[in-house]
């Protein structure tokens, strides 16, 4: 990918630099004439010595090649100056200057200046300058600058500069700068910067920076930076940072960075070697991480923080099996992962009391504390408290998506027996929301049972007892643990 973009940029540079650059002689010894009229050299008012003259007003009935312009010029086919052009030029095909060009150039095909250009250019095909460009360039196909560009460029195909760009570029297929960019680039295709980018890049396909980015990149396809990123990246498919990224990365596909600090949102996956901050994605993967992870699958070799997901597998985290029995007759098995402080549990269950088959599946997120965090007068490192929120979907006989949920908050007190087994139990506050008939027998009683918009509600206080298997450990008090994120 890197070689491809570099080769594209170098090709554009070669195109610019291979244009014929003529020796420049900004002579102050040109003879001045207010008017000149030329059919085509040497047929004209200045004859064969036309390059020795400058004029305020110039008319080229076919085309003319003169010394310079200090005013206004019209050419049916072309206007050409050996030394410089300063003023307004209109030509059917080409406006050309071997030196600098200042003013307004309007042509049906190409405006070309071998030295710097400042002002406004309109061309049906291309605006080309061999040196700096300052002002506004509007072309049906290409705007090319051999050195730095500052101002505003519009092109139906592309804008390219072999130096730096400061300002705005709008290209139908590409915007390319072989040095730094500061400002705004917008295209339906690709924005390319070989070095640093400061500002905003918007592209329908891709934004690429060969080094650092600071600012905003928005793309329907991909944002790619081979260096550091500071700011915001938004894309439809993926964001990639070769080194560090700090700020916000958002994509419908994949976020990839070596080091990431800030926020990362991905429809598919967030992948980073090291991360500090918030990651939200279907899959979150990192070697080391510090902060908050929200996803279906969270994976890290080392993690400190808070995970929320179906499965959160960490090399330094818990991997437990929970077997529970709760009021109403449900027996559940949970695969419990996460950190030893904050855990996630993927749950499946079955009601053993009813005469019909009732199943449930769901998730739980819990916080484990030392018993002293909740009861200051109790001090026993093997005793713990779990505060847990769960949401469980129920279905009878065959799988059904019809609304039939139980939401619960549990306060569980437990005791560890060694490092590989514990027992726990405690009360729960429960709410059932269902559109399924006869689902009220999932509970033994209800404190309140309203009905609203076809949904049946039940509220009750219940209980849960269970045991947890495989490796567990004693936790320090929350006040001693919080600042270090050793969760």
pLDDT tens profile 11-28:
444 333 333 333 334 445
Whether pLDDT at 391 is above 50: yes
How do residues 57-97 score in pLDDT, each as one tens digit? 999 999 999 999 999 999 999 999 999 999 999 999 999 99
Residues 99-131: tens digit of each pLDDT = 998 999 999 999 999 998 889 999 999 999 999
Token couple for 294: 């929200």
- pLDDT tens digits, one per residue of 415-449: 999 999 999 999 999 999 999 988 989 998 999 99
Report, as an integer, the average pLDDT of 363-383: 95
User: Which CATH architecture best describes the domain 317-484?
Assistant: Beta Barrel (2.40)
Query: Which tokens is 434 given?
Result: 């269902």
CA distances from 439 to 2, 310, 404, 455, 481 (A): 59, 26, 8, 11, 43
Domain spans of the chain? 2-222, 223-304, 317-484
């Amino acid at each position: 990918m890197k070689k491809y973009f570099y080769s594209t940029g170098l090709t554009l540079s070669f195109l610019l630099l291979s244009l014929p650059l003529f020796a420049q002689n900004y002579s102050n010894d040109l003879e001045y004439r207010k008017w000149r009229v030329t059919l085509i050299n040497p047929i004209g008012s200045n004859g064969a010595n036309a390059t020795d003259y400058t004029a305020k007003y110039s008319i080229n009935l076919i085309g003319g090649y003169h010394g310079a312009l200090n005013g206004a010029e019209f050419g049916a086919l072309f206007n050409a100056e050996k030394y410089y052009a300063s003023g307004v030029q209109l030509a059917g095909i080409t406006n050309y200057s071997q030196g600098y060009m200042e003013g307004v150039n309007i042509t049906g095909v190409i405006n070309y200046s071998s030295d710097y250009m400042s002002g406004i250019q309109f061309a049906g095909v291309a605006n080309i300058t061999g040196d700096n460009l300052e002002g506004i360039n509007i072309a049906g196909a290409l705007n090319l600058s051999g050195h730095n560009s500052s101002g505003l460029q519009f092109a139906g195909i592309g804008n390219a500069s072999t130096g730096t760009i400061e300002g705005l570029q709008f290209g139908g297929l590409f915007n390319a700068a072989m040095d730094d960019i500061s400002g705004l680039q917008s295209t339906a295709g690709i924005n390319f910067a070989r070095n640093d980018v400061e500002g905003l890049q918007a592209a329908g396909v891709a934004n690429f920076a060969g080094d650092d980015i600071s600012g905003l990149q928005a793309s329907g396809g991909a944002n790619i930076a081979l260096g550091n990123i500071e700011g915001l990246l938004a894309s439809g498919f993926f964001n990639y940072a070769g080194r560090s990224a700090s700020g916000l990365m958002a994509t419908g596909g994949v976020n990839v960075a070596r080091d990431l600090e800030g926020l990362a949102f991905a429809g598919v996956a967030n992948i980073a070697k090291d991360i500090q901050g918030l990651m939200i994605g279907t899959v979150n993967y990192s070697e080391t991480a510090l902060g908050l992870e929200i996803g279906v699958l969270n994976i890290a070799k080392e993690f400190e923080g808070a995970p929320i997901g179906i499965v959160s597998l960490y090399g330094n985290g818990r991997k437990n099996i929970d077997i529970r029995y709760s009021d109403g007759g449900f027996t559940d098995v949970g695969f419990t992962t996460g950190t030893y402080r904050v855990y996630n549990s993927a749950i499946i269950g079955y009601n053993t009391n009813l005469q019909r088959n009732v199943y449930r599946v769901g998730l739980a997120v819990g916080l484990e504390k030392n018993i002293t965090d909740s009861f200051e007068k109790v001090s026993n490192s093997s005793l713990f408290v779990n505060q847990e929120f769960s949401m469980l979907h129920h279905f009878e006989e065959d799988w059904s998506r019809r609304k039939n949920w139980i939401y619960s908050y549990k306060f569980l007190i437990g005791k560890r027996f060694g490092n590989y087994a514990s027992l726990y139990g405690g009360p729960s506050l429960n709410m059932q929301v269902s559109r399924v008939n006869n689902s009220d027998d999932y509970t033994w009683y209800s404190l309140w049972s309203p009905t609203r918009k076809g949904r049946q509600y039940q509220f009750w206080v219940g209980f849960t007892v269970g045991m947890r298997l495989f490796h567990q450990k004693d936790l320090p008090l929350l006040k001693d643990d919080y600042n270090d994120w050793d969760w």
